[in-house]
Amino acid sequence: MELKNIIAKNIAELRKANGLTQLALAEKLNYSDKAVSKWESGASIPDVVVLKEIADMFGVTVDSLLSEKCSNKSVEPKRKRVHTIITLLSVMLVWLIGTLAFAFMGIAGIEKNLWLSFVWCVPVSFIVLLVFNSIWGRRRLNYLVISCLMWSLLAAVYLSALQYNPWLLFVIGVPGQIIICLWSGFKKNFKISFWC
């Protein structure tokens, strides 16, 4: 089989196995769907840089794109699973540290508000989620995570300062939430890349 036909077959199989249309693949690569169509029909071959992008996107090697026995199973689901496990382990590390703080404060005889060590684990967990979402490209969730971070942080401050009656802290959350919602809509309409 001719090399350009092998590449064409492999790109088409990988694209279909990952549930992408030619247009969706083209948008991810910043090419036109006509270019992808030409690659998949064997009328042309993507350059080496684009082949590397395609291989990385589908979790295969460039060599496998050039071989007749390219696995049409993407490692992308495995990569997402690994990312999820790493994120969950990091969040659980936050809770382990909170539990250790709780235990050591109890051992040290500090009995007042021990439970606050767990309360502060919630906003710190959302910070960890925000960092990993940003690193691994799942930025669509960031608006939700930022909202949860803001409200859990306000709740933690409120619960930490109960003796001062700080209920007005939650008033800060209202304009904060409106800003988050407006920024989310602004980005979707104008495709501005800032936080997400």
pLDDT in tens, 30-51: 888 899 999 989 899 998 888 8
* 96 and 54 within one domain: no
* 93 and 59 within one domain: no
pLDDT value at 196 more than 80? no
Q: Coil, helix or strand for 68? A: coil
pLDDT value, residue 90 = 94
* 180 and 158 within one domain: yes
| Token duo for residue 147 | 């909202």
How far apart, in whole angstroms, are the C-alpha atoms of residue 124 and residue 145?
11
pLDDT value, residue 193 = 45
pTM (2 d.p.): 0.56
Q: Do residues 160 and 151 lie in contact, with contact meaning Cβ atoms separated by under 8 Å? A: no
* 51 and 96 within one domain: no
Last residue of a domain, one of 45, 66, 87: 66
Angle between helices 169-190 and 142-160 (to 10 degrees): 170
Residue 111 covered by a domain: yes
Q: What is the mean pLDDT of the chain?
A: 83
C-alpha count within 13 angstroms, C-beta hemisphere, residue 76 = 14
Residues 6+ positions from 146 with CB-CB distance below 8 Å: 130, 180, 195
